[in-house]
Structure 1
Amino acid sequence: MIERTSKVYRILRRARNQIIIRAKKLSRVDKTTYVHASAIVAKDLVTEEYAFVGRSCEIAPLTFIGRYTMLATGTAIVGGDHLSTRVGVPIQFTGRPEQLATKIGRDVWIGRNSIILRGVTIGEGAVIAAGAVVTHDVKPYVVVAGIPARFIKTRFSDSSDNTDHSKIINGPIISPIFAAPLIRYTIK
């Protein structure tokens, strides 16, 4: 088995990423971005360095994902693509409103099976809890959860940490350090 921390692993991972990015025709996705093969991604997706799009994600058109941002399994960026207020016309025949861009800042963590409605802006450093439904903009460095997503707490206990962290994630690219595999425990 190849160690996840080895140079060979990094080379193979990058090669795999490039094959998937080319197959999905994602010309505006950074070469360091990871897009899982099962993700359904609009061809106009734009990502910065080391973005991560996990298994079974769905990403609508006009989406931007910042550097170091992670979308966990089942994250969906959807909605805002049907009109529903025309009396006497079934929704599927009402046409489409103006499409809104979705912007996800740098170093955002979006938890498993979260739904982000199109047109939302998520500030840098934010954390979206698993299963949350984000219907409004999210401020930088906050944690939100629930349906609809609501403020839970700030990410860092000291607001000066926001400034220090922002300098790091907006500075020179950080070389990746991939997590070691989980230790398997046997219960007796």
Structure 2
Amino acid sequence: MSILLNVLKRFILIIVSYVRYYKSIKGTGVRIKKSQIDGNNNIFNSNSFVLASKIYGNTTVNSNSIVINSTLSEFTKLGVNCAFANSTLGEFSYINDSSNVNNTKIGRFCSIGPGLKVGYGAHPVNFLSTSPLFYSSKPWFGFALTNKDEYEEHATTVIGNDVWIGANVFLMDGVTIGNGSIIAAGAVVTKDVPDYAIVGGVPAKIIKYRFVSDKIKEIQNLNWWDKDLEWLKKNAHLFQKDISISPIK
């Protein structure tokens, strides 16, 4: 009986979602619940699920992806088979297929490849045991040995602006990825990444910096990622040349 009831509730939610957001729904099985959908030109593809979230205009949530307790800013895209929870995605940023993101703040203009894993939680390495049975108040096995959390499992991860993350990258909880940095495919990032650094490996290490220090300061002073769309359109030529060998102007 409970299975049939759940199926009925799901069906009703699909119908309600279609009636409310039919202009944005581009497939079957889309469910949108307790969310604020703003602006125009949003696209929700088949079997996507949005719960307790805020979606701005010109946003795409692709098939079989879920968004829970999160914010997708304007001009953002979430790929196929993604899970995005307790997180924010800045304008003009996209996340590719099969990524799982939790408890993460992502800046503007980020390009994130498929298979990103972040927000899975950490375990204490200096406790007698790494098992959550001893430090977590959650009843992992039907009971808990403590009534309060003795260890922070899910520290917030911060990804800056204009960050490029390659395929199948794993980020440890709580790290900060600096503006303009590049994370090579397959990297396991366990420490903060400086602005404009290129890192790779397991664990990830700095390979080099994208620009010399004076050029990095020049870019940081420009702070272009905070400019409005009109400024970006007017100054698009600045982004279409090699600035390592010429001034930004």
Into which bin does the TM-score normalised by the smaller protein fall? 0.7 to 0.9
Equivalent residue number for residue 73 of structure 2 = 30
Equivalent residue number for residue 159 of structure 1 = 214
With over 3 angstroms needed to count, the CA separation of the structure-2 counterparts of 1:115 and 1:23, relative to structure 1, is: closer
Deviations 1:11-45 (A, max 9, x none): x9x53264638962454220311111311111x21
With over 3 angstroms needed to count, the CA separation of the structure-2 counterparts of 1:27 and 1:91, relative to structure 1, is: closer
Instruction: Output aligned runs, 1:85-96, within 5 Å.
Output: 86-87=127-128, 91-96=131-136
Matched, 1:71 2:103: no
With over 3 angstroms needed to count, the CA separation of the structure-2 counterparts of 1:138 and 1:154, relative to structure 1, is: same
> Which among 126, 149, 157 is matched to residue 204 of structure 2?
149
Kindly provide the amino acid, as one letter, of the partner of residue 177 in structure 2. I
Q: Distance in 1 between matches of 2:215 and 2:125?
A: 45
**Tell me, which stretches of 5 or more residues in structure 1 are unaligned?**
1-11, 178-188
Q: Distance in 2 between matches of 1:90 and 1:135?
A: 18
Q: Distance in 2 between matches of 1:75 and 1:24?
A: 15
> Which among 13, 20, 26 is matched to residue 61 of structure 2?
20
> Which among 53, 65, 74 is matched to residue 95 of structure 2?
53
- Identical columns (%): 29
> Which among 112, 115, 127 is matched to residue 167 of structure 2?
112
Matched, 1:132 2:191: no
Equivalent residue number for residue 7 of structure 2 = none
Q: Distance in 1 between matches of 2:93 and 2:60?
A: 16
Q: Distance in 2 between matches of 1:27 and 1:129?
A: 26
Count of residue pairs brought into register by the alignment? 161
**Tell me, which stretches of 5 or more residues in structure 2 are unaligned?**
1-25, 27-40, 45-58, 137-150, 237-249
With over 3 angstroms needed to count, the CA separation of the structure-2 counterparts of 1:170 and 1:162, relative to structure 1, is: farther
With over 3 angstroms needed to count, the CA separation of the structure-2 counterparts of 1:117 and 1:54, relative to structure 1, is: same
Matched, 1:170 2:226: yes
With over 3 angstroms needed to count, the CA separation of the structure-2 counterparts of 1:31 and 1:125, relative to structure 1, is: same
Deviates more, 1:113-122 or 1:44-53: 44-53
With over 3 angstroms needed to count, the CA separation of the structure-2 counterparts of 1:19 and 1:123, relative to structure 1, is: closer
RMSD of aligned residue pairs (Cα, Å): 2.8
